[in-house]
């Protein structure tokens, strides 16, 4: 079958007299003249609307005090543990027991006098049926209504004393958050308003931190399993820093290399920094890329429950002693090895700290309650506790100090790793 031929269409051409063209042009431009007249004769082009960028995605950057570490900027983020690390959230009724270790009936009565209690609460603490005298202290069993009804000031006073004794785990290791950012603790948590309200009633302040210790009373009051899981995840949130280094076209790369190339990374840091200025433009780089291998792999993560010792011994001391290592040294899960390392492999420094120096929080009796690693300015690398729910994070030193409040003065002591002896040849 032959294909019919298609004749090309001839375009139509409109011919108008010159006068008609002038009239048409006038009609097309007349409306714009009216708009110009109504607008005062001036047309200002409006910029295209810009979509608002959520602050959670691009939080504000804050400048860090400059130093040999270069130009640093930080932003705050919240991290929370995965659900696999949340303990059983079934509401198991557990009576409240407070251990006043070392107290006598007389010293405890004197303590109650210093606490801001109402008349009904004073009658409760004076009731000897609530106290059990032991050879090394007193166990006090408050009623649930007594605990739930305490004022924030009374709760802070009582729980600060209880926190001194590991026998009171809820007060000794409470949930904590920065008081100045209290609203962020529960923001976007999807918790019901009634749950948030119940928890906020039981918050108390110590230093610059807000604390919560009464989950044993709150969880049985929440009927929903999902709500209990959300609450425990939210309470376990940690405020941490994301820190970036600014590289300009004229940045002194050699000076930055001298500061950041500790921890057997000298061969890696300088080429990386040099690559950032080849194009002649500035940029920002997250300092996680400049840290030694172990902290680079652990930062913003949680210990895996399957790791040996992760339930007990991956604490702050394990963290600081492994900072400059190429791989984690499991010896530092043992307290004797930790003590030996601090005594033999580090020396105290009184000058300006540098990357990798260890900061110890020492009590007047010499006991160490925490250790963390100096990064730059007021920024430290820390793991606050041995719990699997405690991640490796960056914090300001002031926030870490607030995390470990004490009724005694704390001495911040700086230590530096001794230079390693070069390997000697047997030939």
Report the pLDDT value the prediction gives residue 34, as an integer from 0 to 100.
34
Q: Pairing mode, if any, of strands 131-134 and 137-140?
A: antiparallel
Q: Which residue has the tokens 């294909």?
A: 3
- Please state whether the predicted TM-score (pTM) of the whole model is above 0.85: no
Nearest CA to 79 out of 335, 393, 351 is that of 393
Report the pLDDT value the prediction gives residue 136, as an integer from 0 to 100.
94
Report the pLDDT value the prediction gives residue 385, as an integer from 0 to 100.
86
CA distance 366 to 293: 31
CA distance 72 to 88: 41
CA distance 148 to 227: 20
CA distance 391 to 268: 26
Mean pLDDT, 10 residues at a time, over the chain (427 residues)? 37 40 40 36 30 41 94 93 75 84 96 97 95 96 96 96 92 88 88 95 90 93 92 92 94 94 77 84 90 95 66 82 92 92 95 96 92 98 89 94 79 93 47
Nearest CA to 378 out of 282, 241, 193 is that of 241
Tokens standing for residue 44: 């200002």
Q: How many CA atoms does the CB half-sphere of 118 hold within 13 Å? A: 7
CA distance 87 to 68: 43
Question: Which residues are 380's β-sheet partners?
Answer: 374, 395
Question: Which residues are 286's β-sheet partners?
Answer: 244
Nearest CA to 174 out of 160, 190, 185, 188 is that of 160
Instruction: Please enumerate in sequence order all residues whose Cβ is within 8 A of that of 178, keeping only pairs 6 or more positions apart, or say none.
Output: 184, 208, 209, 210, 239, 399, 402
Report the pLDDT value the prediction gives residue 313, as an integer from 0 to 100.
61
How many beta carbons lie within 10 A of that of residue 191, not counting itself? Answer: 19
Nearest CA to 372 out of 389, 86, 390 is that of 390
Report the pLDDT value the prediction gives residue 265, as an integer from 0 to 100.
65
Which H or E element spans position 344?
Answer: helix 335-344
Report the pLDDT value the prediction gives residue 358, as an integer from 0 to 100.
98
Q: What is the CA angle 198-199-202, rounded to 5?
A: 100
- Judged by DSSP in three states, 132 sits in strand
Q: Which residue has the tokens 């290399």?
A: 257
């Amino acid at each position: 079958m032959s294909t019919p031929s298609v004749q090309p269409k001839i375009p139509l051409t409109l011919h108008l007299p010159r006068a008609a063209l002038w009239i048409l042009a006038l009609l097309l431009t007349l409306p714009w003249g009216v708009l110009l007249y109504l607008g005062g004769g001036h047309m200002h082009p409006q910029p295209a609307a810009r979509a608002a960028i959520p602050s959670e995605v691009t939080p504000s950057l804050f400048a860090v005090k400059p130093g040999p570490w270069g130009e640093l900027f930080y932003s705050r983020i919240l991290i929370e543990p995965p659900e696999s690390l949340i303990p059983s959230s079934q509401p198991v009724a557990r009576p409240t027991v407070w251990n006043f270790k070392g107290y006598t009936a007389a010293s405890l009565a004197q303590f109650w006098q210093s606490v801001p209690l109402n008349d009904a609460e004073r009658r409760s603490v004076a009731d000897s049926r609530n106290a059990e005298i032991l050879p090394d202290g007193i166990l006090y069993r408050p009623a649930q209504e007594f605990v739930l009804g305490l004022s924030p000031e009374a709760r802070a006073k009582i729980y600060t004393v209880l926190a001194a004794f590991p026998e009171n785990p809820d007060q000794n290791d409470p949930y904590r958050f920065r008081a100045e950012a209290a609203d962020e603790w529960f923001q976007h948590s999807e918790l019901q308003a009634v749950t948030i309200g119940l928890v906020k009633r039981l918050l108390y302040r110590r230093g610059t931190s807000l604390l919560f210790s009464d989950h044993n009373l709150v969880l049985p009051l929440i009927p929903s399993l999902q709500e209990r899981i959300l609450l425990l995840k939210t309470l376990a949130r940690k405020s941490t820093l994301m820190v970036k280094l600014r590289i300009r076209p004229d940045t002194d790369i050699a000076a930055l290399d001298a500061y950041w190339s500790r921890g057997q990374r000298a061969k890696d840091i300088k080429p990386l920094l040099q690559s950032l200025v080849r194009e002649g433009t500035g940029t920002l780089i997250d300092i996680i890329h400049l840290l030694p291998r172990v902290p680079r792999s652990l930062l913003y993560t949680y210990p895996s429950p399957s790791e040996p010792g992760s339930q007990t011994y991956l604490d702050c001391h394990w963290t600081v002693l492994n900072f400059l290592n190429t791989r984690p040294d499991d010896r530092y899960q043992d307290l004797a090895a930790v003590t030996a390392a601090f005594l033999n492999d580090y020396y105290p420094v009184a000058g300006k700290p540098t990357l990798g120096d260890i900061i110890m929080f020492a009590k007047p009796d010499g006991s160490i309650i925490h250790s963390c690693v100096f990064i730059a300015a007021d920024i430290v690398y820390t793991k606050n506790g041995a719990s699997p729910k405690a991640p490796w994070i960056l914090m300001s030193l002031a926030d870490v100090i607030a995390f470990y409040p004490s009724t005694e003065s704390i001495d911040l002591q700086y230590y530096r790793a001794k230079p390693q002896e070069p390997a000697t040849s047997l030939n």
